[in-house]
Amino acid sequence: MSTSVGASVSRKDGYLKVTGRARYAADHPVKQVAHAVAVKSTIAKGRITAIDSSRAEEAPGFLAIIHHGNVQTLHRPQNDFMSATKPGEDRVVFEDDRVHYVGQYVALVVAESLEQARYAADRVTVSYAAERPAIATDTAMDTAYDPGEFFGEKLTMTRGNPDAAFSAAAVTLDASYTTPTEHHNPMEPSASMAEWNGDDLTLYETTQWVAGARKTVAQTLGMSEKKIHIISPFIGGGFGCKGFVWPHSVLSAIAAKKIGRPVKFNLTRKDMFSACGHRSETAQRVRLGAQADGTLVAIQHDSLVQTSPVDEFIEPCGVTTRFLYSCPNVRVAHRAVRVNIATPTPMRAPGESPGLFALESALDELACKLNLDPVELRVVNHADTNEHARLPWSSKYLKECYQVGAERFGWAKRDPQPRSMRDGKLLVGWGMATATYPGIRSPGAAKVRILRDGTVEVISATQDMGGGTYTTMTQIVADVTGIPVERIRPALGDSDLPPAPVSGGSMTTASILPASRKAAQQAVKKLVAVARSLPDSPFAGRSEDEIIPANGRLSLKDSPHVNMTYEEVMRLSNQTVVEGEGSTSPGAERQKYAFQSFGAQFVEVTVDPEIARVNVSRVVSVFDVGRIINTKTARSQGYSGVIMGIGMALMEHTVYDPRDGSIVTGNLADYAIPVNADVHSIDIQFIDKPDPFIDPDGLGARGCGEITITGVAPAIANAVYHATGTRVRDLPITPDQLLGT
Ligand code: MOS
């Protein structure tokens, strides 16, 4: 079977994972490791007045307790994403006696075993002077402000005159939507294990960004980043909560320093609900004005989100609205309130996911008012250029996505009348939505090493949180070297390797694969030079470009029987390694084109009218994400995004007690996510046309991690409306909102 770019290749790391040999952060066999357990605030706002650790210190196996009263000096890092110093929270852990949210770390207890650490931590008594917290958005409106920018993007903009256009429009829609707080809940909770060797620190981490972890921890501890080694070879999902650097990565290091032994801090599932970010709840108002034929004349999208007292992260709901549809009059605005809840962070398609729930629900409502097919309404308003950036798209096949999706789904058979389609006693609904996510790219580097035994290594300080980076890196190098994937070893998740960006923003593929390819090309070129210079070389007198790599050999292009294996070249030349380096970065193309991925997501739901239960019986998703490197891992991204979208639409909801900020649903029993019984037919398709401008080397892949979730929740909500006639504007769509329909 072909392993070339575009083929369906099984995971390079699959065998290690299914046999339990893949080492996640907490699994590394570090000798003499002690265990840390956090003591967390039980109040949402106030001061710590006393920490009594006397009973903890008597507990068996107790080694140390660290808190604001005895912590070593820590420094706030620069807190700048672009320079890879991005903590999850600006406030440094144990900075002072202030408490800002329930679950904030107030002490760390270290003991010989995990059980002993938990027992000792339970025996720490923390006294507080509590103040009245603001938990619910409506109680924090006095703090509301305009956050201005989000990672360099202006969050507020106006094009044309949306007020006048709205007033004059033939048909208008004005609707408000809400989405709840959500937590990422990756399979693997975050963990950090620290080991000091003199002044050198090794951190076994669960991080989407080894480079960011190294710099941020270095600045926090006030040490040189050269002294820090971050190791994160396997990550059990991240979805954004392992992107920035959260306090545990510093805590393990200072605890290990304090006791002079390695320390492991493995977060509990409950810790994950306050210690590594979440998606803020959102309240969004969308106003649309259209002509009778559906042409949009006005769009206004106002968002109100939450952020924390100790850093700022803004869920940028309206960013996509600036350009998703063609419209001369657009206004997008965001406001944020500060509540006593931990700091939000990116969660799979931050902005797009909740933003498209509002916008794409509103489009569906408008289609109903206009008596227009929802697909037709979107085609009528297709944006041929990016009207916000005023740039042409690098490539865009959204119309094809609608068309292919509609055909595969059978959309033409839809009766637009709500409650018109049934399957026995079940109501059947069909809905759809547009999906989108930017085509981001960052500077990245890789090395390719041809070894003496003819095997090849490809290395980069990128990460694989489950998306398939190990595998796609290998495929790229296999294509260039002609060495089969079995004989190529990828290495990543190590800060000592060539630098790479965060595995976030769906940017890994477009950043790392072109670099890997360049590195492989350079390594082959060097090997060819070595082969030509051998005494009695079969390639003597032949030029470089007459010699091609294929099937594990270098061969003469015009007479393939004249060839040498890689191993022969290495042995005869007495080389131990031939190494190529490659790096790529975004360039002038970014000023010439807008890079954006698109998709169309079609959903069938059945609703049992007696118990108001919604079942997502069928999903068809078609994405234009440039070239597909590996159809298998790309399709898996599609499945996972759709499944996560089912969770977003029907289940996920972090509930805070509005009185005291305690987390009501801080476990996987009360925070529901989809299980196999919730997942039925999912059809993932890709247009698979290379983006001609995304990387100058012509690979043409834009990445596909996040777009896959973006249209799911609105498509489900639209299908629920079609099934029941009830428009649910507040996620998650729960039976109580549908009872009696
Ligand atoms: Mo992502 S939310 O950029 O890991």
Average pLDDT over residues 641-653: 98
> How many angstroms separate the CA atoms of 155 and 318, rounded?
8
113/614 Cα distance (integer angstroms): 45
Q: Is the CB of 318 under 6 A from ligand 1?
A: no
How many angstroms separate the alpha carbon of residue 533 from the centre of ligand 1?
48
Which listed residue (312, 360, 365, 706) is catalytic?
706
Q: 211 and 499 in contact (C-beta within 8 Å)?
A: yes
Give me the torsion for CA of 688, 689, 690, 693, rounded to 10°: -130
Atom of ligand 1 nearest to the CA of 505: 3
Cβ of 501 closer than 6 Å to ligand 1, yes or no, is no
Helix axis angle, 352-370 to 712-724, nearest 10°: 30
Judged on CB neighbours under 10 Å (0-12, 13-18, 19+), 544 is exposed
Distance 438 CA to ligand 1 centre (A): 12
Percent of the chain residues past pLDDT 70, beyond the cut? 99
Q: Looking at the predicted structure, is the pLDDT value of residue 132 above 80?
A: yes
- Mind listing the pLDDT tens digit for each residue in 161-186? 999 999 999 999 999 999 999 999 99
Give the position, in ligand 1's atom list, of the atom nearest the Cα of 350.
Answer: 2
Nearest atom, ligand 1, residue 243 CA: 4
466 CB less than 6 Å from ligand 1? no
Closest ligand 1 atom to 347 CA: 2
Strand order in the sheet with 98-99: 98-99, 46-52, 125-130
- State what percent of residues in the chain have pLDDT above 90: 97
Is residue 347 lining ligand 1, measured as CB closer than 6 Å?
Answer: yes
Pocket test of ligand 1: the residue of 232, 276, 315, 706 to mutate, having most ligand atoms within 8 Å of its CB, is: 706
Evaluate: CB of 208 within 6 angstroms of ligand 1. yes
212: Cβ below 6 Å to ligand 1? no
pLDDT in tens, 443-480: 999 999 999 999 999 999 999 999 999 999 999 999 99
**pLDDT of res. 2:** 67
For ligand 1, pick from 184, 241, 348, 437 the residue to mutate: most ligand atoms within 8 Å of CB. Answer: 348
- Six token digits for residue 403: 């068309």
**Closest C-alpha to 94, from 75, 67, 125, 74:** 67
Q: For residue range 303-352, what is the model confidence (pLDDT) as tens digits?
A: 999 999 999 999 999 999 999 999 999 999 999 999 999 999 999 999 99
Question: What is the chain's percent helix, strand, coil content, to nearest 5?
Answer: 30, 30, 45
Q: Can you say how many angstroms the Cα of residue 265 is from the centroid of all Cα atoms in its chain?
A: 23
Cβ(186) – ligand 1 distance below 6 Å: no
Examine the residue annotation and report whether 544 is marked as an active-site residue of this protein: no
**pTM for the full model?**
0.97
| pLDDT(1) > 60 | no
Q: Which residues contact 138 (CB under 8 A, 6 or more apart)?
A: none
* pLDDT > 90? residue 150: no
Farthest-apart Cα atoms in the chain, separation: 87
Mean pLDDT of 5-24: 95
